[in-house]
Amino acid sequence: MRTIREVYGDALQNTANWLCYSRLLGAGAIAAYNLRGKHPRNTKSTTVMGLIYATDKLDGIFARKAAKKLKRPPTNAGKTLDQSIDKAAHYLIAGSHIYDARNNNENKFSLSLLGALSVQICRDAIINRKRFQVDRASELTGSPIHIGSTPSSKRKMMIIAGADMATQSPLSEYRSGRFLIGLAHVTGTIMSLTSGKEIIDQINGELTIAANQS
């Protein structure tokens, strides 16, 4: 018979998963709103986007509490789900911002957004390929390999979230505002590359240990 602790832990984990899915649905709604092109840069849509990104923090809290209650570390599958939804939500929102900027003849602004998004997609593809190698190594060794996030990746996500919110806000209606937003996107992209290198180094280290154990 399941204990109250286990039931509570599963409830926390399910809450974390639903918060993940709600982030993707919210990002899709914001993207659809932007693609309509009817003055999407306003305070209300910026607030909604802030709530969407806030779920990223909340689901992490619930997942960690669930892991504590169930007395097991967070799984790589759960981390992969969270990170995949984070990226899909960001891609949806960033793609709609590029469309909106092009629609308003803000060519330089749209190119800066497109460049930042392209670099982030390439970086994520390389890391996902490395994570696949980690999963294979876990299967071969029979022991799970956990890859944690780095401090710079957390700071990077905060900067990108802030840049996305600023792009959605009335600030992006002004040339000076677009310059600052573009600078924030460039900073976030550079930090993406830095955190990506840290994660790859961490993965390579774990793969080396796994290879020595096999």
Q: Which of 95, 87, 109, 75 is nearest to 153 (CA)?
A: 87
User: Which residues contact residue 169 at a Cβ distance below 8 angstroms, ignoring those fewer than 6 apart?
Assistant: 41, 42, 43, 46
55-60 contacts, C-beta under 8 A, 24 or more apart? 55/19, 55/20, 55/22, 55/23, 55/26, 56/23, 56/82, 56/86, 56/157, 56/161, 58/16, 58/19, 59/15, 59/16, 59/17, 59/19, 59/20, 59/23, 60/16
4-213 fold: Four Helix Bundle (Hemerythrin (Met), subunit A) (1.20.120)
pLDDT for the residue numbered 174: 86
Q: How far apart are the C-alpha atoms of 143 and 149, rounded to whole Å?
A: 20
Q: Running DSSP on this structure, what letter comes out for residue 1?
A: -
Q: How far is Cα 97 from Cα 32, in angstroms, rounded to an integer?
A: 11
Model confidence, pTM: 0.73
Nearest Cα residue to 59 out of 89, 25, 16, 12: 16
Cα separation, 188 vs 170, in Å, equals: 21
pLDDT of res. 10: 62
The predicted structure's pLDDT at residue 201: 84
User: Which pLDDT value is given to residue 46?
Assistant: 83
Instruction: Give every residue of the chain whose pLDDT is below 50, as ranges.
Output: none
- Separation of alpha carbons 68 and 107, rounded Å: 49
The pLDDT value recorded for residue 192 is 84
Tell which residue, 146, 131, 137, 148, has the closest CA to residue 211. 137
State how far the Cα of 13 lies from the Cα of 68, in Å rounded to an integer.
11
